[in-house]
Amino acid sequence: MSLRVALTALLLLFAPTAQAADSLDNRIGEALFRRMWVAAPTATQAADGLGPLYNARSCATCHPRAGGGRPPDPAVEGDQGVGYAIKLNSDPVYGRQIQSNATLGQVIEGRPRVTYREEEVRFPDGETIRLRHPTPVVEDLGYGPLAVATVMSARVPPRVHGMGLLDRIPAEAIEAEAQRQQASGGPVSGRVNHVTVDGKRQVGRFGWKAMHPTLDHQDAEAFSLDIGMSTPAYREPWGDCTLAQTACREAPHGDSKQFEGLEIPSTVIGLIDGYLRDLPPDGSLEAPKDKAGTTLFADTGCAACHRPSWRTAEDPDHPTLSNREIFPHSDMLLHDLGPALGDELPMGEARGSDWRTTPLWGLNRLAAKDGQLSLLHDGRARSVTEAILWHGGEAERAKDRFMSLPGEERKRLVRYVLGL
Ligand code: HEC
Ligand code: HEC
């Protein structure tokens, strides 16, 4: 029985009341997004191949309800956060990421943690706020010390709602936005992260440094680095295990003839992509109604990078998604936000202090669900105000303008951002 038929049968058995409006493929995609993969070997082969080293067993563990994650809370003994991962610039032993889990009999690479140093910042009107400076650490390293030249960069999982609409912004429009910003001669001068995949130079869009041109590529990397499973794009069944990690390389793997000689065949990637592509943004699909807020957002300089709207590409096969205005509040470009946010880990054309402008839609739901926010690439900011105060480099002027606003206006701008 093929995986797809098996899953369809399972869904029909266990979810007879699900809404008919959801397409079956999307429901299978969602089930795969939540699926807990298991270690090889198993009798069925349909769900095995996890690890041997991995961070989490499913996509949904790190992106619960397709949302984002958070860093560990240093005040809570043993807390690991949600999906918190430490990327490396290719350590000869540890590879590109610290895997914090392992299948039976394998040694974990270490436990990612963070420590914070607090700093008090004063607004011109006398109000104060505390920012926390993070230092990522890896406890219990399983394979000896990291190489001296190894650089660590901590990341929290971003929200994955609305990805399909971002995917539908024409690449030429993103290039044109970069050219417009560069020609303007101002401090805000975004750049495209060009990435070469399958021999083609493409516009990077996904990930904190826009290093993935397509959802496909992003998802395949997640299977390799986070879950330890092979896909058409990353064919090694041991994921991120290096030559130095012999036990991991020699462990049983889940490659199977039935699945293109892989653990995760292209059909599974396609179904997960399809599910993500159709997930609407968690925020509004309409233009913001608060006109005064829109003006304040633009006058403070936020809209220079957090570009309010885009028009999606023409797509006759998907009339509801085709040629429509969307409001992600991101220009999809890289900006140098200064050394305080920098990580010395270049990715493609993105340098250490370059980050992709984060789309702001959906922050409201996040705040309502979880109370405290975990914003910015490593989750260091606990509120929108903290996130703004970390902006430097090309965004220094906008931050200064925000800080000089009267307290009431600052609150108003934050409320506006939370309502997007
Ligand atoms: C260990 C936790 C973890 C797991 C498991 C995981 N992710 Fe992620 N995901 C992340 C992190 C961290 C990032 C940000 C990476 C970066 O940009 O450095 C991310 C980024 C993404 C993005 C890009 C979002 C954006 O705003 O550009 C997508 C899409 C995504 N993941 C989908 C998936 C899918 C599909 C799976 C399962 C195959 C998955 N993830 C499994 C942690 C995880
Ligand atoms: C020069 C471009 C630029 C300007 C100007 C700018 N931002 Fe950003 N913003 C970014 C980038 C890039 C990030 C991602 C930084 C990171 O994760 O380290 C970001 C992140 C954020 C985040 C965190 C979102 C999340 O989900 O993690 C918020 C909130 C935010 N910006 C709000 C604002 C507001 C409000 C203003 C105006 C006061 C502003 N920004 C001005 C580029 C900019």
**What percent of the chain is modeled with pLDDT above 70?**
93
CA of 32 to the centre of ligand 1 (A): 14
Q: How far apart are CA 211 and CA 204, in angstroms?
A: 5
The tens digit of pLDDT for each residue in 258-309 reads 888 899 999 999 999 999 999 988 878 889 999 999 999 999 999 999 999 9
The tens digit of pLDDT for each residue in 175-203 reads 999 999 999 999 999 999 999 988 999 99
The residue among 342, 305, 346, 255 whose CA lies nearest residue 50 is: 255
Least confident window among 148-157, 180-189, 251-260, 339-348: 251-260
pLDDT value of position 368? 56
Nearest CA to ligand 1 atom 6: 59
Query: Which residues, other chains included, contact 273 with Cβ-Cβ below 8 Å and sequence gap of 6+?
Result: 29, 215, 216, 219
pLDDT value of position 220? 95
Q: Residue 151 above 80 pLDDT?
A: yes
Q: Residue 7 above 70 pLDDT?
A: no
Query: Which residues, other chains included, contact 11 with Cβ-Cβ below 8 Å and sequence gap of 6+?
Result: 18, 24, 27, 28, 31
pLDDT value of position 41? 85
Ligand 2 pocket at CB < 6 A: 188, 208, 300-302, 304-306, 335, 337, 341, 355, 357-358, 360, 375-377, 384, 387-388, 391, 394-395, 398, 402, 417
The tens digit of pLDDT for each residue in 214-238 reads 999 999 999 999 999 999 999 999 9
Q: Residue 161 above 60 pLDDT?
A: yes
Q: Residue 207 above 70 pLDDT?
A: yes
* Two tokens, residue 177: 């936005």
Q: Find out whether the beta carbon of 223 lies less than 6 Å from any atom of ligand 1.
A: yes
Q: How far apart are CA 415 and CA 367, in angstroms?
A: 11
Nearest CA to ligand 2 atom 32: 388
Q: Find out whether the beta carbon of 206 lies less than 6 Å from any atom of ligand 1.
A: yes
Please choose from 133, 211, 305 the residue to mutate so as to test ligand 2's pocket, defined by most ligand atoms within 8 A of CB: 305
Asked if residues 132 and 71 have their Cβ atoms less than 8 Å apart, the reply is: no
Rg, the chain, Cα only: 22
Asked if residues 174 and 192 have their Cβ atoms less than 8 Å apart, the reply is: yes
Please choose from 181, 337, 397 the residue to mutate so as to test ligand 2's pocket, defined by most ligand atoms within 8 A of CB: 337
Q: Find out whether the beta carbon of 82 lies less than 6 Å from any atom of ligand 1.
A: no
Q: How far apart are CA 129 and CA 383, in angstroms?
A: 11
The residue among 226, 177, 202, 167 whose CA lies nearest residue 348 is: 202
The residue among 41, 33, 154 whose CA lies nearest residue 103 is: 41
The confidence band for 76, taking pLDDT boundaries of 50, 70 and 90, is very high
Q: Residue 23 above 50 pLDDT?
A: yes
Q: Find out whether the beta carbon of 63 lies less than 6 Å from any atom of ligand 1.
A: yes
Please choose from 358, 378, 402 the residue to mutate so as to test ligand 2's pocket, defined by most ligand atoms within 8 A of CB: 358
Cα three-residue angle 58-61-65, rounded to 5 degrees? 110
Nearest ligand, CA 162: 1
Q: What is the mean pLDDT of the chain?
A: 92
Nearest ligand, CA 362: 2
The confidence band for 19, taking pLDDT boundaries of 50, 70 and 90, is very low
Least confident window among 241-245, 278-282, 365-369: 365-369
Q: How far apart are CA 134 and CA 71, in angstroms?
A: 10
pLDDT value of position 378? 98
CA of 284 to the centre of ligand 2 (A): 18
Nearest ligand, CA 53: 1
Q: Compute, in degrees rounded to 10, the torsion defined by CA atoms 238, 78, 120, 368.
A: 80
Least confident window among 2-6, 98-102, 394-398: 2-6
Q: Which atom of ligand 1 is nearest to the CA of 210?
A: 27
Residue at token pair 């044109």: 176
pLDDT value of position 17? 39
Nearest CA to ligand 2 atom 11: 357
Query: Which residues, other chains included, contact 179 with Cβ-Cβ below 8 Å and sequence gap of 6+?
Result: none
Q: Residue 21 above 70 pLDDT?
A: no
Q: Residue 396 above 80 pLDDT?
A: yes
Please choose from 100, 215, 223, 226 the residue to mutate so as to test ligand 1's pocket, defined by most ligand atoms within 8 A of CB: 226
Nearest ligand, CA 305: 2
Query: Which residues, other chains included, contact 199 with Cβ-Cβ below 8 Å and sequence gap of 6+?
Result: none
The confidence band for 159, taking pLDDT boundaries of 50, 70 and 90, is very high
The confidence band for 28, taking pLDDT boundaries of 50, 70 and 90, is very high
Nearest CA to ligand 1 atom 23: 207
CA of 158 to the centre of ligand 1 (A): 7
